Amino acid sequence: MTLLVVGASGFLGGELCRQAVAAGDRVVGTYHSTTPDLPGVRLHRLDVRDRAAVHTLVAQVRPDAVVSTAYVYADWAVTADGAAHVALATVAVGARLVHLSSDAVHAGRPEPYGDDEPPSPVFPYGAAKAAAETAVRAIDPGAVLVRTSLIVGEGSKQIQLCLDALDGRATLFTDEIRCPVDVVDLAAAVLELVPSDHAGPLNVAGPDAVSRAELGLLVARRLTASVGMKTTTSAASGLRRPTEVRLDSSRAAALLRTRLRGVTELLAG
Ligand SMILES: NC(=O)c1ccc[n+]([C@@H]2O[C@H](COP(=O)([O-])OP(=O)(O)OC[C@H]3O[C@@H](n4cnc5c(N)ncnc54)[C@H](OP(=O)(O)O)[C@@H]3O)[C@@H](O)[C@H]2O)c1
């Protein structure tokens, strides 16, 4: 199988490439600003904002499947328009599309969100991810929209934020609840979804709902150091981000062989 990973230079994209190469796939990856070191992957520079360039590259590669991960937190054109361009180019060659979405599409509430709940974004990043979902679904109703949460693991920016908080350089909120997932588990789940016929949104996150502050404490305990960690409430009022977003990933857990480990297990010991 030929797999095209859009955003191969990213945290998840790199892990997707490594696992797909190890599985024997022909892997083509894209980067935008940073050339990644990914043995066995044919790399191309691509700006997903350039609709014609996306079309040309996908037409050249003729992949069997495309995993679309590219985004920039505060850039609508990359996150939303870019995702639409990737979807248009993918349907043009008849390839399978797995699009990476986010729990950020939800407004936040105490009850967990099911897979099929419509987006209710309350901040620009969530709105851009919701717009991307809408575009991708309209262009390719057969695409999977993987809604995931904080991606953790070696080199994760979420773990780096915890380490920064331990040094007093960042603040972790006690009222910002998420369901972290390990990058290795998430990549394996995404690659399992490629040959499946699942269509539409699917929550793929860990089973443990923790606040960013609790995540920081788990990281601190692992390092046996918790002094200096700054925590506070007020995520919603201060930063205009949704507070409690729990993804119910039970459908994915039943569908996939990959076990989605909780963060308590991941960071134990
Ligand atoms: N990280 C999380 O905790 C988290 C949580 C929920 C959902 N997600 C979703 O999961 C996906 C992967 O996240 P991640 O953390 O692995 O992302 P990441 O490490 O920030 O990587 C983003 C990728 O997008 C590429 N990119 C940026 N601008 C681009 C452009 N104009 N054209 C083409 N590519 C461009 C980057 O390329 P360069 O680096 O080469 O510029 C990089 O490969 C995203 O869709 C994100 O919304 C992430």
Ligand 1 atom nearest residue 100's Cα: 45
Cβ atoms of residues 29 and 58 within 8 Å: no
% pLDDT > 70, the chain? 94
Whether residue 226 is predicted with pLDDT greater than 70 in this model: the reply is no
List pLDDT tens digits, range 123-159. Answer: 999 999 999 999 999 999 999 999 999 999 989 999 9
Q: What is the DSSP string of 175-195?
A: T-EE--EEHHHHHHHHHHHTT
Q: What percent of the chain has pLDDT over 90?
A: 84
Asked if the model's pLDDT at residue 38 lies above 60, the reply is yes
Over residues 241-262, the mean pLDDT reads: 96
Which residues form ligand 1's pocket by a CB distance below 6 Å?
A: 7, 9-13, 31-34, 46-49, 69-72, 78, 82, 100, 102, 129, 148-151, 158
* Banded pLDDT at 231 (limits 50, 70, 90): low
CA of 70 to the centre of ligand 1 (A): 4
What's 150's DSSP letter?
-
Ligand 1 atom closest to residue 102's alpha carbon, by position in its atom list: 7
> From ligand 1's centre to the CA of 69, what distance in Å?
6
For residue 132, the CA-to-ligand 1 centroid distance in Å is 13
SS3 content of the chain, % helix, strand, coil (to 5): 40, 20, 40
Identify the CA nearest to 114 among candidates 257, 210, 252, 260: 252
Q: Residue 251: phi, psi to the nearest 5?
A: -65, -45
Residue 149 CA, ligand 1 centroid: distance in Å? 13
How confident is the model over 154-204, as pLDDT tens digits?
Answer: 899 999 999 898 888 888 889 999 999 999 999 999 999 999 999 999 999
Q: pLDDT tens digits, residue range 78-99?
A: 999 999 999 999 999 999 999 9
